[in-house]
Amino acid sequence: MKITGYKSLKTSHVWGRPIGDVNGVINPGVTEVPILLLTTDEGVTGIGIGDHSEIDRVFSAIEGQDPRAVSTLYDRMLAYVFKAGHAGHTFGTIGTIDMALWDLKAKLNDEPLWRTLGGADPFVPGYASGLCYGLEDDELAALYERFAERGFSSAKLKGGIDIDRDIRRLKLVRDILKRNSPRPAMMFDANEAWSRKQAIRNITEIEKHLDLTWIEEPVRRWDAEGLAFVSRAVKAAVATGENLTGLEQYLPLLSAGAVDVVQAGNVWGITHFMRTAMAAHAHNLPVSPVGNSANALAHAATAIPNMMTIEVQDLGFPVGLRVDQRFEDGGVWLGEAPGLGVSYDESLFISPVPLAGDALAAGPHVRPARAGLRLVSGDGPTSMALRTPAS
């Protein structure tokens, strides 16, 4: 069996709300979803969901190879980009190819990926994470009411500029989730918006008002000394890792005791997550995968001994995709469809209007000039000012 080619498709995820974080908000609430199809000489196709803009650079590493050798092909792709490096779009491309290869392997086994990976229980506990920085309080409440109806008893909120607003919203969501637990687990994501001392001051203030389970990316993702500094100074666990690409980027954090909850981004693929989870396990640390893109890492999470909880960003899926999952009991129930359980109807696909100019500059992937430099709470744009213009 050989890999013969690929095809790229695009659709959109229609969130039905503004999404983003302290770095910016996409007001239209529509994001692009790239889809990669890997074809074989036996007519079986693997599906990967995520950025693969460097596919022309990487595909030669797997062309003509047996797709069942997933782990070997993963290392082969890394070897092909050894000199130039594998960060950014290149690592994202490798991750999407890796997802498609695992989908292929499980389809050839005629079983869901979670079984191929060695999982026994199709349920993955999760937490609600609505990318909710741009929502007003009433919109925020309505969103987490929907999560609560599905049994969620834990949530993560975005913030980092106005600490009074952040505390008010954390308490609001906590009280909503009390229908499912007397002590909901509350997490907070600052998306690298603070300096070390700002982080400690702000987290300490939050902890006066509620029990914070973890603080995510309080300082820069690579600042091992700073993350360890924060972890030692506050009660909450420090979570980070979604933006790290490759085990070598985790090593300084693990060695410094700078991370208490090890995260891995869905966009970087399944093999990356499994290796990251084992590195965390060797340091007696739990792992928590970042969700979305049909929650592919939920399949791998079933086979990981130190799995804690998976991020659930939305209760729906991209337009034109059917995903064999359901959100109930505060987590993700995986189905029995072969592979990732993803099928599609290309006739239903829609493409978002690309952001440009001021709208692109205000998006959540652009770091603001004052990040980590604000002297007082509220020094900077409010959530409404951060919203991009509606298209």
Question: DSSP per residue over 274-293, as a string?
Answer: HHHHHHHHHTT--EEE---G
Quote the CA–CA distance of 239 and 217 in Å, as a whole number.
6
| N-term to C-term CA, the chain | 46
pLDDT lower than 50: segments of the chain: 382-391
pLDDT of residue 357: 60
- Residue 29: left (phi > 0), alpha (psi -120 to 50), or beta? left
Q: Strands 237-240, 154-158: parallel, antiparallel or unpaired by DSSP? A: unpaired
- The answer to whether 48 touches 100, Cβ cutoff 8 Å, is yes
pLDDT of residue 361: 62
Distances (CA, A) of 272 to 54, 85, 101, 256: 18, 16, 13, 21
Quote the CA–CA distance of 112 and 139 in Å, as a whole number.
36
**Phi first, then psi: what are they for 347, rounded to 5°?**
-65, -20
pLDDT of residue 369: 83
Distances (CA, A) of 35 to 7, 53, 164: 8, 11, 40
**Phi first, then psi: what are they for 243, rounded to 5°?**
-105, 5
pTM (global) more than 0.75: yes
- The answer to whether 285 touches 262, Cβ cutoff 8 Å, is yes
Quote the CA–CA distance of 138 and 172 in Å, as a whole number.
10
Domains of the chain from N-terminus onward: 119-336 (3.20.20.120)
Quote the CA–CA distance of 379 and 372 in Å, as a whole number.
11
Q: Strands 3-14, 30-40: parallel, antiparallel or unpaired by DSSP? A: antiparallel
Q: Strand (E) positions, the chain?
A: 3-14, 19-21, 24-26, 30-40, 46-49, 123-128, 154-158, 185-189, 212-216, 237-240, 261-264, 287-289, 310-312, 321-323, 325-328, 331-334, 342-344
The single residue listed with the structure tokens 């709470």 is: 377
Give which of 32, 44, 57, 42 is closest to 102, Cα–Cα: 44
pLDDT of residue 180: 98
CA dihedral sign of residues 242, 162, 260, 222: positive
pLDDT of residue 83: 84
pLDDT of residue 59: 98
Q: What is the DSSP letter of 387?
A: B
pLDDT of residue 51: 95
Give which of 278, 288, 325 is closest to 309, Cα–Cα: 288
